[in-house]
C-alpha cells in the first residue's frame, strides 16, 4: 500500500499528520496531532481505492469495534473511528493514543541486548494484557503478537498495539472462519489452518521473547518436528527455559490453556506443567464450570443471583404447581366453613373465584410444559435440562455442539439455548444464561471436540 497522506496535511479538520509510524497488513499508521487537545495520536488509515481485498475492510472495522471496548493501561486508548470521502476515494481512520517509546524490533536494531530479568519483566506485562483480553466476553485474540507490535518505553513499560488481526472466539466458533492472519515465524501452527484459540497468542509471545534472547528471527532458529530448539543458544535459567518451551509448544494441548495460567506459572504460583488428564475451566463471569477429562465432560451451571424475566416466569409456574393447588383447596374449605356460620360477602367469593382461575391456568401451563418436555425426551430423544441440573457426557459420544433458537409469539427476540447432539440423545440447556456465556460454552465444547479429532 502506498503512502496515503503527506506530512502537515490535516484530516477531518482535526488531525495534523506529522510523520509515518509504520505499515502493516491492514492499513498505514501515522503520527498526528489532535488539534482539539494538542496531544499526539496514532492515526491508522485504510484506502478503499487502494484495497484489493474486502477482507481488509472487515478487519479494519473489527479492529475499531474491538478497540472501542478496551480499557487497559497497556493498550493505547481508543479515540475515534471515522471516514473521509473525496471525489476519488474513501478513507477509513482509527485514532488512538500514541504509545510513547519504540517497538521491540527497533530496540534490537539499535543494538539492545536484554538479559533474562528484562525479558521476564516484558513477559509479565504482556501476559497481564493478554489475560485482560481473554477475560472479555467473548474473549479477544490478538493473533499478531510480534516485536513490531510491542512498544517499550525507557522506563520498562510495555504497550500492545495494532489490533488489525484481532478476532473473538465466538466469531471463529460460529462462522468457522478460515482466514490465515499473522506474521510468519511468530504464528502458531494452528493459524496456518485459519484457527485461533486462547493459547495462540501465547505462541506469538514466546517466539517474541526468543527473538529478544537470541537476536534472531524465530524462522531462522533450528527446529525438530516443528519444535524450536533454543536451549543451546541462550543463557537463561532452567526454570525459565522450561516455561518458555511450554509456551511455544506446536501442539495446542501441550501449551498453557490461557495467559492467566502462563502468568501463574511464570510467577512460580503453579508448576509449568499441567495435568493432561483433567482440565478445569470456568467462564469469566463464573456462572459455568466445565470439567474436561479423557473419559467424560461435566457441565454445571451455577444459580444466577439476578434471574431474567423469562426465568421468573417459569419459576412462577413451577411454584404454582407446588403451592397454589393445595392453598386453593385449603382456602376454599375455609371460605365454605365461613359461609355456613357467618355471612360471606359476594366480593370475597368473587375474589376466591378469580384466584382459583389463576391457579388453574398456572397449573395447566406447568402441566403442558412438562408434558412437552416428556414428549421430547421420549419421541425425539431430547433432554431439556432444568435450570442448574449438571450434564455428564462422554466426549466420544458427542457429534455436534451449537447454539439453537426458538421464537415465541409473545416475545420480540428469539430464545437461544445450547444444544449437544450425541449418539444416545440430545441435550438442550443454558436457556437462562446470558448470550455471551452461551457463546463461550459452545466455543469451549467445540474446542474440546477438536482436540479429539
Looking at the annotation, which residues are catalytic? 144
- Which triple of cell numbers denotes residue 289? 464450570
Eight-state DSSP code of residue 321:
I
- The DSSP result for 109-161, as a single string, is HTT----HHHHHHHHHHHHHHHHHHHTSSSPEE----SGGGEEE-TTS-EEE-
Closest alpha carbon to 317 in 377, 361, 357: 361
293: left (phi over 0), alpha (psi -120 to 50) or beta: beta
Contact 382, 420 (CB under 8 A): no
Question: Phi and psi of 130, rounded to 5°?
Answer: -65, -40
What SS3 state is found at 426? strand
Taking CA atoms, 154 is separated from 41, 107, 118, in Å, by 19, 10, 12
Count of all residues that appear for the chain in the document:
453
- Which triple of cell numbers denotes residue 8? 502537515
Long-range contacts of residues 238-245, Cβ cutoff 8 Å, at least 24 apart:
239/268, 239/272, 240/116, 240/120, 242/272, 243/272, 244/206, 244/209, 244/210
Cα–Cα distance between 344 and 126 in angstroms, integer? Answer: 77
What SS3 state is found at 17? strand
* CA 216 to centroid of chain Cα atoms: 32
Closest alpha carbon to 382 in 419, 435, 330, 437: 419
Eight-state DSSP code of residue 180:
-
Pairing of strands 167-168, 140-141: antiparallel
- Widest pairwise Cα distance in the chain: 103
Contact 192, 167 (CB under 8 A): no
- Which triple of cell numbers denotes residue 201? 497468542
- The DSSP result for 28-48, as a single string, is EEEEEEETTTTEEEEEEEEET
Amino acid at each position: 500500500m502506498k503512502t496515503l497522506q503527506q506530512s502537515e496535511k490535516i484530516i477531518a479538520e482535526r488531525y495534523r499528520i506529522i510523520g509515518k509510524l509504520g505499515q502493516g497488513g491492514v492499513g498505514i499508521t501515522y503520527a498526528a496531532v489532535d488539534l482539539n487537545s494538542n496531544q499526539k495520536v496514532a492515526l491508522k488509515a485504510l484506502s478503499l481505492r487502494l484495497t484489493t481485498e474486502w477482507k481488509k475492510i472487515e478487519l479494519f472495522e473489527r479492529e475499531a469495534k474491538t478497540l472501542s471496548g478496551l480499557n487497559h493501561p497497556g493498550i493505547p486508548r481508543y479515540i475515534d473511528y471515522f471516514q473521509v470521502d473525496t471525489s476519488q476515494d474513501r478513507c477509513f481512520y482509527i485514532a488512538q493514543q500514541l504509545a510513547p517509546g519504540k517497538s521491540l524490533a527497533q530496540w534490537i536494531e539499535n543494538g539492545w541486548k536484554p538479559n533474562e530479568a528484562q525479558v521476564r519483566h516484558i513477559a509479565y506485562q504482556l501476559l497481564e494484557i493478554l489475560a485482560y483480553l481473554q477475560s472479555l466476553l467473548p474473549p479477544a485474540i490478538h493473533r499478531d503478537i510480534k516485536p513490531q507490535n510491542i512498544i517499550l518505553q525507557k522506563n520498562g513499560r510495555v504497550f500492545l498495539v495494532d489490533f488489525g488481526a484481532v478476532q473473538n472466539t465466538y466469531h471463529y466458533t460460529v462462522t468457522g472462519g478460515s482466514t490465515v492472519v499473522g506474521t510468519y515465524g511468530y504464528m502458531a501452527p494452528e493459524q496456518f489452518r485459519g484457527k485461533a484459540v486462547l493459547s495462540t497468542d501465547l505462541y506469538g509471545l514466546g517466539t517474541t521473547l526468543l527473538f529478544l534472547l537470541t537476536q534472531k528471527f524465530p524462522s531462522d532458529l533450528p527446529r525438530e518436528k516443528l519444535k524450536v530448539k533454543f536451549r543451546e543458544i541462550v543463557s537463561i535459567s532452567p526454570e525459565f527455559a522450561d516455561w518458555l518451551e511450554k509456551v511455544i509448544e506446536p501442539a495446542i494441548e501441550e501449551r498453557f490453556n490461557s495467559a492467566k495460567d502462563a502468568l501463574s506459572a511464570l510467577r512460580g504460583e503453579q508448576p509449568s506443567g499441567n495435568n493432561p488428564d483433567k482440565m478445569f475451566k470456568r467462564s469469566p463471569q463464573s456462572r459455568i464450570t466445565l470439567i474436561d477429562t479423557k473419559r467424560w465432560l461435566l457441565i454445571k451451571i451455577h444459580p444466577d443471583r439476578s434471574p431474567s424475566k423469562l426465568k421468573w416466569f417459569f419459576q412462577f409456574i413451577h411454584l404454582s404447581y407446588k403451592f397454589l393447588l393445595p392453598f386453593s383447596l385449603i382456602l376454599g374449605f375455609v371460605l365454605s366453613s365461613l359461609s355456613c356460620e357467618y355471612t360471606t360477602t359476594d366480593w370475597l367469593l368473587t375474589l376466591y373465584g378469580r384466584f382459583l382461575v389463576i391457579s388453574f391456568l398456572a397449573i395447566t401451563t406447568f402441566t403442558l410444559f412438562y408434558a412437552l418436555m416428556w414428549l421430547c425426551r421420549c419421541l425425539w430423544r431430547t433432554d431439556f435440562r432444568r435450570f442448574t441440573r449438571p450434564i455428564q457426557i462422554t466426549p466420544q459420544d458427542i457429534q455436534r455442539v451449537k447454539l439453537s433458537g426458538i421464537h415465541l409469539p409473545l416475545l420480540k427476540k428469539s430464545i437461544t439455548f445450547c444444544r449437544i447432539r450425541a449418539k444416545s440423545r440430545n441435550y438442550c440447556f443454558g436457556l437462562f444464561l446470558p448470550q455471551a456465556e452461551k457463546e463461550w460454552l459452545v466455543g469451549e465444547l467445540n474446542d474440546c471436540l477438536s482436540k479429539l479429532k
